[in-house]
Amino acid sequence: MGLTWQRFWGTDLEQGVRSMQRLSQVLDKMRYQRLTKDVEDQATAGLDLSMADALASLSNHTRLQETQAWLRQEVTAAVFQALYDLQHPANCSSVRKLHCNFNKGCGFGCELHHVVHCFATAVALNRTMLVHVHPTNYFKTATAWTDSLQPISGCGESTVGAGSLPLFNRADPSENAAAEELFVDIIDFGASPWDPPAMPQDVHEVAQLFTSRPEIWWVGALTSYLMRPSGASGQRHAAFKAAHDWGGLTVGVHVRRTDKVVQREAVLHHVSEYMAHVERVCDQRLPSGWQVRALRLQEDPQLLQLQEQRMAQAAAIAAGARPADVTAAAAAAAAASDTAAAAAAAGGSGRKQQRSECSVYLASDEPQVAAEMRAKYRHVHVITNDRGLQTSSVTARYTNEGFLGIYDDVMYLASCDFIVGTFSSQVSRMAYEVSMVNNTLGAADRTFAYHSVDSMWYYGGMAGFTRCAATDFTDQGRVVVRAGQRLTCAVIHKFDQATGHEVCKLLGAEQT
């Protein structure tokens, strides 16, 4: 018989899962400390690997991953059902509502995270959230949202302005609590007691059994609910993956540049900085020699031609071709590819793979990045979404097509096995958040299936936080931070322009 809540709660199995999670969190703390200082410590790395291997072996013998997969699936389904019920009441006229305006006047990730802030408030207040989505900077037509995504609420969208409703008071949530309808302002004016990292206690109680960072999983759950694809988007995503032979190890890479760097919101990071982590992941997870096998593959003209055909099919999807037609073409190409691989094997090469075993899904607002990556890393299979590359420029992104491009990028990144990006970018963080909830990625906790080349994860608008130094930090031979000292760090991370390192302050000191 399968696992049920009655067979789990209050049993030795529940206690075993909790004990294993405590061990896992010790390992996760070590990983987090290594990520924060971003320095390869061989002694720590060796202990990290030994602990990870021991924990994995113990997990296999205790069916921990199987149990956690069941927990993740059950909890995700229950949370999504609760969110759906809140947003689709039986009688819209009789429920209390919270109004939110999508048009915060910023980019895709920033605006959608603003709606997540509204959603977290609506859940805490037990109010149905109505969002004003049209006309806004991304949505120029009345059906633009539902053409791409499922409706946010069964009660329609908000049609009232901020001035016509009582305003939700973050400092005193009891004010206007009896009002039938409230308007929630942007989080920049101050976080409420219910904004992340806060989350419902009952959800936290079960989420901590399958993830080391329940608060990030909660943000991912709210975001994933809002980003549920429409039927057309679901078909487009399936056809894109079929055309690109999506499968095996795929690392998502998000390279944010253009206005983000020009306006000095973030430091420029070169392609090599991202790809160092891609190659590390592929080295860890693939049989040795994958680079050589990939380069040899490129010498086979038949298989190279088939790869080009797949890229053309993917471009057709991005250009608006019917997904069903492209899927059929992809199936035919796959059959031909299998034939070519069989012929190659019969000819004595013995090779059956049709592309590099290490794949990258690249999302960027600078098309030249794709060309550079393909030229310098020929042993890596690079997948791109042409719609996203073409509509990501500052002049083209604020359109219906621009929304589709960045939305697809986030969904594809979240489908990858590992994400490399810059967490100073809302898009990188959003893809990571959604990946935490993605049940198609297996049972493993996704908390550390990422590397950010600049900042750690944060939720924009949350209160500042304190860190404790894990080791001494030296600068040109001088110890500037000692192990155990506490530092305060801004939520919106500040970076040293010369090194790209995050700038924090020692408690009681004027500078780092």
* Per-residue model confidence as pLDDT tens digits over 127-172: 999 999 988 888 888 898 999 999 999 999 998 876 789 999 988 9
pLDDT tens-digit map of 347-357: 333 334 456 78
Q: What number is the average pLDDT over the span 2-14?
A: 71
Q: Where is pLDDT greater, at 26 or 48?
A: 26
Strand pairing category for 478-481 and 473-475: antiparallel
In the chain, the percentage of residues whose pLDDT exceeds 70 is 71
In this prediction, residues 316-327 reach a mean pLDDT of 62
Here the tokens at position 231 are 């039927």
Closest C-alpha to 451, from 26, 29, 36, 30: 36
Nearest of 449, 436, 443, 456 to residue 217 by alpha carbon: 436
Distance CA 251, CA 241 (A): 14
Residue type, 429: R
As a whole number of angstroms, the distance between CA 51 and CA 23 comes to 9
Q: Which residue has the higher pLDDT, 193 or 342?
A: 193
- Per the CB < 8 A criterion, the answer to whether 433 and 220 are in contact is yes
> Which of 87-96, 99-108, 278-287, 490-499 comes out lowest in average pLDDT?
490-499
Q: CB count, 10 Å around CB of 278?
A: 23
CA distances from 234 to 47, 148, 244, 320, 360 (A): 42, 9, 16, 14, 21
Of residues 135 and 275, the one with the higher pLDDT is: 275
What are the beta bridge partners of residue 481? Answer: 473
CB distance 98 to 115 below 8 Å:
no
Which pLDDT score, from 0 to 100, does residue 475 have? 80
CA–CA distance, 327 with 314 (Å, rounded to integer): 10
Rounded Cα distance, 303 and 244, in Å: 13
pLDDT number for residue 424: 87
**pLDDT for residue 260:** 57
